[in-house]
Amino acid sequence: MIRVNEHYLKLQASYLFSDIARRVAAFQKAHPGKEIIKLGIGDVTRPLPPACVEAFHRAVDEMAAAESFRGYGPEQGYPFLREKIAREDFQRRGAPIEADEIFVSDGSKCDVANIQEIFAADVTVAIPDPVYPVYLDTNVMAGRTGAFADGRYAGVVYLDSTRENGYVPGLPGRDVDLIYLCFPNNPTGAVISRERLQAWVDYARERRALILYDAAYETFIRDERLPHSIFEIEGAREVAIEFRSFSKTAGFTGTRCAYTVVPKGCTAWTAAGEPHSVHALWLRRHTTKFNGVSYPVQRAAEAVYSPEGRAQCRERIDGYLRNAALIRREMTDLGYECIGGDHSPYLWVDTRMDSWAFFDLLLEKANVVCTPGVGFGRCGAGYVRISAFNDFEKVALAMERIRAALRGRA
């Protein structure tokens, strides 16, 4: 008799995006003439930068000719890309990362999902609330949690991000082994200072814990005092893994390319206390279960680092940040407290009412779609996430409508 992995049965069905789609469809059916503006999505809207498209085309042509055709590449990525990443994203910022510590993949989602399998099933996991749900669900699947009750899984140490702590969780009151952090944050848009990140690194070093640092939105950071990478922090090479993606940086959400940095200094231990290299474990896992990102996609990703590629990516991110600044200004003017949006495409708005009630209000009165914060965790109750991924004209129109609908309410 084939049996199921019963941990899967603990998973809560995520109704968030299907509930949103259902409510939007019902509204559209009832009001067929109304044009809805979506500020709910976590996907880019601008096309690939031309420098990436050209490199992509050239690489496809190489694949079409016998003398330049390539079959399987190195599982960890081609040296041309790994070397550029190490130099441009890390060494240039003073972060001591080498090319052989970079693992190129087809997305940060799978990397942050898969990494937990190299650690013991009984490690204690600390996960932020609100959160990008992949961290939590993959630990549920692996059996690291108990049942779900009152909006939380037993056995998980939740790191609350609230107004009181500036939406940057403080150190947990108890020992934890595996710590998920994400900055700039999805969904809140919060950023972390060097000092607070240093405190997390120090904590991990003292307790022989490991930090999984998701920097998918790193490219939105505009204040040079903020760390772009955890490896800018003293001691992080011993206790941190970082995830980066070309998805938001260069519009690769549909093209798929990302990378994970596993420094050779990271150690994990057996129950008997024998040390093992986390890099060696991840290399084994990656080369066993993954066969590399396609050659043309890696060439397209490499073009992000060319002068033209850099300028084109920058122009796109600046556009999203301009949208975010407008949303923030308008919501603040209307009397709503919000964070995010200055180094992030996301704004986290305190609605001072139920998240879903505010969602319905925006949909019905302004025909604008946002994302109810409660869908990202218990601490998101009363908040909504507004996304800046859209055209400026659409965002401006959405904010005009929101202003008319909400004036005097907050």
Which chain residues interact with ligand PLP by CB under 6 A?
42, 107-109, 112, 132, 182, 186, 214, 216, 245, 247, 253, 258
Instruction: Count CB atoms within 10 A of the CB of residue 47.
Output: 11
CB of 256 to ligand PLP, least distance (A): 7
CB of 244 to ligand PLP, least distance (A): 8
CB of 278 to ligand PLP, least distance (A): 20
Instruction: Give Rg (Cα) of the chain.
Output: 22
Q: Name every residue whose Cβ is closer than 8 Å to that of residue 13 and which is 6 or more positions away in sequence.
A: none
Give which of 283, 302, 305 is closest to 294, Cα–Cα: 302
Q: Name which of 216 and 239 has its Cβ closer to ligand PLP.
A: 216
Q: Name which of 132 and 383 has its Cβ closer to ligand PLP.
A: 132
CB of 27 to ligand PLP, least distance (A): 25
CB of 215 to ligand PLP, least distance (A): 9
Residue given tokens 């033209």 in the structure block: 308
- Per DSSP, the three-state class of 113 is helix
Q: Which residue is nearest to ligand PLP (CB)?
A: 107
Question: Which contacts qualify for 267-276: CB closer than 8 Å, 24 or more apart?
Answer: 267/208, 267/238, 268/118, 268/119, 268/210, 269/208, 271/120
Instruction: Count CB atoms within 10 A of the CB of residue 25.
Output: 10
CB of 161 to ligand PLP, least distance (A): 13
Residue given tokens 């940060």 in the structure block: 108
| H/E run at residue 152 | strand 152-153
Q: Name which of 218 and 330 has its Cβ closer to ligand PLP.
A: 218
Q: Name which of 188 and 355 has its Cβ closer to ligand PLP.
A: 188
CB of 374 to ligand PLP, least distance (A): 18
Q: Name which of 105 and 367 has its Cβ closer to ligand PLP.
A: 105
Q: For residues 278 and 186, give the distance between their C-alpha atoms in angstroms, rounded to a whole number.
A: 26
Q: Name which of 253 and 267 has its Cβ closer to ligand PLP.
A: 253
Q: Name which of 228 and 334 has its Cβ closer to ligand PLP.
A: 228
363 with 398: CB under 8 angstroms?
no
CB of 228 to ligand PLP, least distance (A): 15
Q: Is 407 left (phi over 0), alpha (psi -120 to 50) or beta?
A: beta
Peptide bond into 184 cis (omega under 30): yes
Give which of 211, 229, 209 is closest to 219, Cα–Cα: 229
User: 216: which 2 tokens?
Assistant: 């998918």
End-to-end CA distance of the chain: 58
138 with 129: CB under 8 angstroms?
no
**Could you give the C-alpha distances from 103 to 165, 180, 281, in angstroms and in order?**
34, 19, 12
Q: What are the two backbone dihedrals, phi and then psi, of residue 52, each rounded to the nearest 5 degrees?
A: -70, -40
Q: Name which of 113 and 397 has its Cβ closer to ligand PLP.
A: 113
CB of 216 to ligand PLP, least distance (A): 4
Q: Name which of 253 and 332 has its Cβ closer to ligand PLP.
A: 253
CB of 182 to ligand PLP, least distance (A): 5
Q: Name which of 159 and 402 has its Cβ closer to ligand PLP.
A: 159
